[in-house]
């Protein structure tokens, strides 16, 4: 049975994802901030991580950078889930680990779907095809489940 680590500080979304993934037959582990995510990865060796960006204690981008720098965790697929849908804001969080619209970011305003653009950006930024991106408000739980299956090649 494959294990999915949900790292999300929104308890309602955490519960909904947990329930839906368990119904699909996955083993689910929960974390509520980036530091807890790193601890749970070491304890549980998940097959996939669902990772929020804006969280207390440690944000998701900091956790992702640490995971990507570690040879034992860099190949774990990560699906970023966030409410941020503004491409420059997300890039600021990735590059500067803070939400600051005053900093200069690459101009990616091409009218494309932000989730697709940011998935491509993150894959390039972390030199990993195992990083995906979803804007929470743009997707239903069923869409996320479908993406989980795809990332796990099911």
Question: Are 46 and 5 a contacting pair, CB within 8 Å?
Answer: yes
- pLDDT, position 153: 82
* DSSP letter (8 states) at residue 129: T
**149 vs 96: CA distance, rounded Å:** 31
Strands 131-135 and 48-52: what pairing?
unpaired
* DSSP letter (8 states) at residue 109: -
The yes-or-no verdict on residue 10 having pLDDT over 50 is yes
- pLDDT, position 132: 62
| Residue 100 pLDDT level (bands cut at 50, 70, 90) | very low
Higher pLDDT, 84 or 39: 39
pTM of full prediction above 0.85: no
For the segment 78-90, the average pLDDT, to the nearest whole number, is 66
Length of the chain: 154
Domain ranges of the chain: 3-151
Question: Are 45 and 15 a contacting pair, CB within 8 Å?
Answer: no
The yes-or-no verdict on residue 137 having pLDDT over 50 is yes
- pLDDT, position 39: 97
Tens of pLDDT along 23-38?
A: 999 999 999 999 999 9
Choose the CATH number for 3-151 among 1.10.287.3510, 3.40.50.970, 1.20.810.10, 3.40.50.2300: 3.40.50.2300
Question: Are 59 and 92 a contacting pair, CB within 8 Å?
Answer: no
């Amino acid at each position: 049975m494959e294990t999915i680590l949900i790292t999300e500080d929104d308890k309602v979304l955490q519960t909904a994802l947990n329930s839906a993934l368990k119904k699909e037959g996955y083993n689910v582990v929960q974390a509520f901030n980036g530091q807890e995510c790193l601890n749970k990865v070491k304890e549980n060796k998940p097959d996939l991580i669902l990772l929020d960006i804006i969280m207390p204690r440690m944000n998701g981008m900091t956790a992702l950078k640490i995971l990507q720098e570690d040879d034992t965790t860099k190949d774990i697929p990560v699906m970023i889930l966030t409410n941020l849908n503004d491409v420059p804001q997300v890039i600021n969080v990735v590059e500067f680990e803070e939400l600051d619209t005053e900093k200069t970011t690459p101009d990616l305003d091409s009218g494309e779907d932000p989730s697709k653009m940011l998935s491509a950006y993150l894959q390039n930024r972390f030199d990993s095809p195992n990083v995906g991106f979803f804007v929470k408000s743009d997707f239903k739980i069923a869409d996320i489940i479908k993406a989980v299956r795809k990332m796990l090649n099911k």
